[in-house]
Amino acid sequence: MIDTIPLGRTGERVSSLALGCMLMGTATGEAESFEILERYHADGGRFLDTADCYAWWVRDGDTGGESEALLGRWMARTGRRDDVFLATKGGAWVADPAAVRAGRAAAAEQYAGAGAATLRHALDGSLRRLGVEHVDLYYVHVDDLRTPLEETLEALAGLVAAGKTRHIGWSNVPTWRLERIRQLCARHGWPAPVALQQEHSYLRRHPRSDKYAIVDGEQLRYLRAHDDLTLVAYSPMLKGAYDDPEKRRAHDVFRAYAGADSDARLAAAGKLAAELGVTASQVALAWLRQQDDPRRVTLVGPRTLGQYDSAAASLGVELTPDMLAELDAAGA
C-alpha cells in the first residue's frame, strides 16, 4: 500500500506516490484512465496531479484542459473529491498549440506566464473543468522571469484568501529564485510554497547541462535546510530510459543526463534489477521511495494500466542498506 509523508510543515500528509494525470483524456482514453484512477485509489493513493495545459501536444485539436475535464468526470461519477488531494498548475498554457506541433513556434515562447490576471483566469478555468470549488495545491508551472515575483505572489495570496486553493507550489524553478520567492513571502506575509515539483531521478544531470528544472546537489542541500518545502519528483523513470537503450537514444529527456556518470548508474541499477528479478525502473522508483534526507513524493505519469501496475509493483521492492550504498556509490 502507498504510505504518506508530511507536506512541508502544513500538518497534513500526502501520498508518497502521486499519480500524474497528464495523458488522461488524450493519449489515455477515458475507460483506461478511470481504471488507472481506481487502481491507484485501491492501492491507497490519494495525490492526483494535473495542469491546465495537459495535454495540448498529443493530438491535433487538443488545446489543454483535457486531463482536468476527465478528472472532473471521474470525481463526479465516484463522489471522491473529498477523498483525494488535488493539485493542478497554471502558467504553461500555450496560445497556439497547432503552431507548436507544426514547428512554427516554440512552446516556451507561448507560455501564458504567471501574471496576476493570467493566474486568476487560469485557476477559474481549472476549477470549472474539474468541477470543484477549490484545489488543494496550485503550482506556478514554469518560472516566469518576465513577471515581477511580487505580482505573482500577491495574486497567489489572493487565490488562497478566496478559498480557491489551500496551498501553493512552484515547478521548474532554480534554487536562487526559490529563495527569492521565500524571502518575499516572509516580508509581505504571503503564503509561501509548500511543494517544489522538479524533474528528479536516480540518474544525475550532466554537469554541462543547463536544464535548471532538474534537481541537483545544491537544491537537495537547500531542501534539507528548509523542511517547510516538500519535493515532488516528476519523470522519475525518465520516460523508460532505464530499461530501453532506444529510448535513451531517441527521447529528449535523456539528453541532460547522457555521459559517463549516467552510464555507471544505469549499470548499477541494471545489475541490482537482475539480482532482484525486477526492472531497472522499479529499482529507481524504490531508491527514490527510500530517500529520507529529504523525504520526497515520487510522481508517476502512466500512459497505460500496465505502466501503472509496473510502477505500483515497485512498492514491494525493498532495498537493503548495502544495496542503497552500492547505488549511491556508482558514478563517474
Which helix (H) or strand (E) covers residue 170, if one does?
Answer: strand 165-171
* Residue-wise pLDDT tens digits, 154-189: 999 999 999 999 999 999 999 999 999 999 999 999
| Phi and psi torsions of 38, nearest 5° | -65, -40
163 DSSP 8-state letter: T
Residue stretches of the chain with pLDDT short of 70: none
Amino acid, single-letter form, for residue 222: Y
The three grid cell numbers given for residue 194, joined into one nine-digit string? 509548500
Percent of the chain with pLDDT over 90: 94
CA–CA separation, 50 vs 126, rounded Å? Answer: 10
Q: What is the pLDDT of residue 254?
A: 93
In Å, how far are 84, 123, 266 from 178, measured between CA atoms? Answer: 27, 22, 31
User: CB count, 10 Å around CB of 83?
Assistant: 10
Summarised one tens digit per residue, pLDDT across range 108-147 is 889 999 999 999 999 999 999 999 999 999 999 999 999 9
pLDDT at res. 250: 79
Q: CA 42 to CA 48: how far, in whole Å?
A: 14
Q: Which of 263, 233, 280, 274 is nearest to 332 (CA)?
A: 263
Q: Is 140 helix (H, G, I), strand (E, B) or coil?
A: strand
pLDDT (0 to 100) of residue 45: 98
For the chain, give every domain's residue range.
4-193
What is the per-residue pLDDT for 183?
98
- CATH code for the structural domain at 4-193: 3.20.20.100
User: At a CB cut-off of 8 Å and minimum separation 6, what does 205 contact?
Assistant: 211, 214, 216, 256, 257
> pTM of the entire structure?
0.97
